[in-house]
């Protein structure tokens, strides 16, 4: 009877790194670890942290092999390049070495599980150079379990090494972190992942379009394991070519529910052009093709982010980027200002969050994009004020923007005089600021929406920080407020006090009052008479 065929192994397991040379994207960690091994400066505990699928547990197993390798001739010592053929290397790779113990902290969280380790570390390794404990997701250990481990972790026997792995290092107590040599494994760049996947499909005798591998690498978000799982699915999804499956970009987009990048560019173009009918048709077309509304919003966000980076002068060209996309990004970057781009981003972020939690995702997506179309590219209040002052039309700030219609007339609708502005503050319930404007602000220039002033000693130190947002709230326009060394008018309080003093002097000089004061030396001028006189 013929032997049964070997069971299929998923790509994520089949292509797990067997040496540090195969561990992609972690060169800094490998160099540090290699130097430590060569110099004999080995820590007693290592902590690997990073997002899922970047190689934390694989790195721990590689370290175990590196420390216990004896070489093909049986005479070797610890090395950053384990031979992979000696008994310790093969046993560790197959997960059957008696001195390398792996424990999943997610299912062994209690103090009793840790006590077993504490008891076992007292005994020497059976057949290896080091007894090694690999604890995955170590942050899942209970507080009591961590406390029980601390003393052993700080002063373990010379023959024991601890290797910890976690995705949530912030949940590991500081007392444990301080006793470990920490390695932060980075997200793997998309270009490295795509290159790795190209080697995998070649080894699997599968044809794949470069764009398809780039899409998978981007969807993996820095995780080699996630990317290999997606690639596994893509190969299963692929149509058979001449004897071998062919993974195409179109199939990957269909499988992942991704929108074609060209379709997203057309969608952004319609958004900026203000073509409402065409925009809604394009959104529904993408939805009919199986593109999720959330993926559509995310694609638009990525595109706006890319335009902003290009405008900022950053080179974001990648091997998978088409010439059409590069030209479109450069064109938009040259036409759209930073302020409209920031508003586009904020509105898309808000729309993305709404779609993510919506009962009706596609309807929420349409409403969010319509809001973006009619609000994102309108000029901000400062720009509106500038255009009003210059007597120009309220033009939009980017291609296709709807003209701003605020219902406001010319700048004369802003408070025409400084006292009018103070009165507006009183009417809006901002009495404290109104009083400060009246008592302690000496005007150098009042030209709405700009104020130059000199501060009286009585003016509070935080006045400038409080007055600018208050002016926008009261008038609906962004103001420029600045202190100046120019010649200033007296404060309104000082002007009123001067007027009262002049009125008093005038009254005291009249013949009737002079005669009265002479006849009654102790008499005083009533303030009400001064006020009446000033009013007259």
* Alpha-carbon gap, residue 128 to 414, rounded angstroms: 84
pLDDT at 280: 92
pLDDT score of 373 more than 90:
no
Please tell me the predicted confidence (pLDDT) of residue 354.
93
Residue 109: partners with Cβ closer than 8 Å, 6 or more residues away: 140, 141, 142, 145
* b (16+ CB within 10 A) / e for 443-467: bbebebbebbbbbbeebeeebeeeb
Is the pLDDT at 534 greater than 50? The verdict is: no
Higher pLDDT, 364 or 339: 364
Return the axis-axis angle of helices 293-311 and 323-335, rounded to nearest 10°.
Answer: 70
pLDDT at 251: 83
DSSP assignment letter at 410: S
The pLDDT tens digits of the residues spanning 310-353 come to 888 887 766 556 677 788 888 888 888 888 888 889 999 999 99
Instruction: State mean pLDDT over 423-439.
Output: 86
Residue 281's pLDDT is what? 92
Q: What is the pLDDT of residue 476?
A: 83
Strands 131-136, 160-166: pairing kind: parallel
Most confidently modeled of 193-202, 244-253, 412-421?
193-202
As given in the structure block, the two tokens for residue 389 are: 């002052």
Is the predicted pLDDT of residue 412 greater than 60, yes or no?
A: no
Q: Any bridge partners for residue 165, and if so which?
A: 48, 136
Residues of the chain with CATH 1.20.272.10: 266-375
User: What pLDDT, on a 0 to 100 scale, did the predictor assign at position 529?
Assistant: 47
Q: How confident is the model at residue 405 (pLDDT cuts 50, 70, 90)?
A: very low
Tell me what the mean pLDDT of segment 144-169 comes to.
88
* Averaged pLDDT for residues 87-99: 88
In this prediction, residues 516-534 reach a mean pLDDT of: 58
- The whole-number pLDDT of residue 348 equals 93
Predicted confidence at residue 376, as pLDDT, reads 52
Percentage, residues of the chain above pLDDT 70: 85
- In sequence order, what DSSP letters do the residues of 300-323 get, joined into one string? HHHHHHHHHHHHTT-----TT--H
As to burial, measured by CB atoms within 10 angstroms (0-12 exposed, 13-18 middle, 19+ buried), residue 187 is: middle
pLDDT in tens, 15-69: 888 888 888 888 888 888 888 888 888 888 899 998 888 888 888 888 999 898 9
The pLDDT of 181-189, averaged and rounded, is 87
Q: What is the pLDDT of residue 164?
A: 92
**pLDDT at site 2:** 45
Where in the chain do CATH 3.40.50.300 domains reside?
A: 11-184
108-119 exposure pattern, b = at least 16 Cβ within 10 A, e = fewer: bbebebbeebee
pTM of the predicted model as reported, rounded to 2 decimal places: 0.57
Give the pLDDT confidence score for residue 531 in this predicted structure.
Answer: 44
Per-residue pLDDT tens for 254-266? 777 666 678 888 8
Percent of the chain exceeding pLDDT 90 equals: 8
Number of helices and strands (H, E) in the chain?
24, 11
Q: Which residues contact 120 (CB under 8 A, 6 or more apart)?
A: 101, 131
CA 378 – CA 275 distance, rounded (Å)? 15
Residue recorded with tokens 């969807």: 219
- Give CATH for domain 11-184: 3.40.50.300
Q: Is the pLDDT of residue 366 over 90?
A: yes
Section 195-212 average pLDDT: 88
Q: 190-256 — its CATH code?
A: 1.10.8.60
Average pLDDT, the chain: 81
Lowest mean pLDDT among 250-254, 265-269, 296-300, 352-356: 250-254
Region 76-84: mean pLDDT is 87
Task: Pick one of 3.40.1160.10, 3.10.110.10, 3.40.50.2300, 1.20.272.10 as the CATH number of 266-375.
Answer: 1.20.272.10
């Amino acid at each position: 009877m013929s032997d049964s065929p070997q069971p299929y192994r998923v790509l994520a397991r089949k292509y797990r790194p067997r040496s540090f040379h195969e561990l992609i994207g972690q060169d800094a960690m490998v160099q540090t670890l290699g130097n430590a091994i060569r110099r004999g400066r080995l820590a007693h505990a290592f902590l690997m942290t990073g997002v899922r699928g970047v190689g934390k547990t694989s790195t721990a197993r590689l370290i175990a092999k590196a420390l216990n390798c004896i070489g093909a001739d049986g005479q070797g010592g610890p090395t950053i390049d384990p031979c992979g053929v000696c008994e310790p290397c093969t046993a560790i790779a197959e997960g059957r070495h008696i001195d390398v113990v792996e424990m999943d902290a997610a299912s062994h969280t209690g103090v009793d599980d840790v006590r077993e380790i504490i008891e076992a570390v007292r005994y020497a390794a059976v057949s290896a150079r080091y007894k090694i404990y690999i604890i995955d997701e170590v942050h899942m250990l209970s507080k009591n379990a961590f406390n029980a481990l601390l003393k052993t972790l700080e002063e373990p026997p010379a023959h024991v090494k601890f290797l910890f792995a976690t995705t949530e290092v912030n949940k590991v107590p500081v007392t444990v972190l301080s006793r470990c040599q920490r390695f932060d494994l980075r997200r793997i760049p998309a270009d490295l992942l795509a290159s790795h996947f190209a080697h995998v499909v070649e080894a699997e005798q599968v044809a794949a379009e470069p764009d398809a591998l780039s899409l998978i690498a981007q969807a993996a978000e820095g995780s080699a394991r996630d990317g290999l799982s997606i690639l596994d699915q893509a190969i299963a999804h692929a149509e058979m070519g001449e004897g071998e499956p062919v993974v195409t970009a179109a199939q990957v987009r269909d499988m992942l529910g991704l929108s074609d990048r060209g379709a997203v560019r057309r969608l952004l173009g319609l958004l900026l052009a203000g073509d409402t009918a065409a925009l809604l048709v394009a959104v529904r077309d993408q939805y009919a093709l199986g593109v999720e509304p959330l993926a559509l919003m995310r694609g638009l966000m990525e595109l706006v982010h890319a335009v902003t980076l290009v405008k900022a002068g950053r080179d974001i060209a990648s091997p998978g980027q088409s010439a059409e996309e590069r030209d479109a990004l450069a064109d938009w970057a040259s036409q759209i200002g930073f302020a409209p781009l920031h508003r586009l981003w904020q509105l898309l972020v808000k729309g993305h969050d709404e779609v993510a939690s919506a009962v009706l995702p596609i309807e929420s997506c349409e409403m969010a994009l319509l809001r973006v179309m009619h609000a994102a590219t309108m000029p901000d209040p400062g720009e509106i004020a500038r255009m009003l002052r210059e007597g120009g039309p309220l033009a939009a700030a980017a291609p296709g923007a709807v003209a701003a219609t605020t219902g406001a007339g010319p700048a004369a609708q802003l408070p025409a005089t400084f006292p009018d502005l103070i009165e507006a503050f009183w009417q809006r319930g901002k009495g404290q600021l109104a009083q400060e404007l009246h008592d302690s602000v000496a005007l150098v220039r009042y030209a709405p929406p700009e104020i130059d002033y000199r501060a009286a000693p009585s003016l509070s130190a935080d006045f400038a920080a409080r007055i600018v947002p208050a002016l926008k709230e009261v008038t609906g326009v962004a103001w420029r407020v600045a202190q100046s060394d120019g010649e200033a008018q007296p404060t309104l309080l000082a002007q009123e006090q001067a007027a009262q003093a002049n009125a008093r002097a005038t009254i005291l000089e009249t013949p009737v009052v002079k005669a009265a004061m002479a006849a009654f030396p102790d008499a005083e001028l009533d303030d009400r008479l001064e006020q009446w006189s000033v009013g007259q």
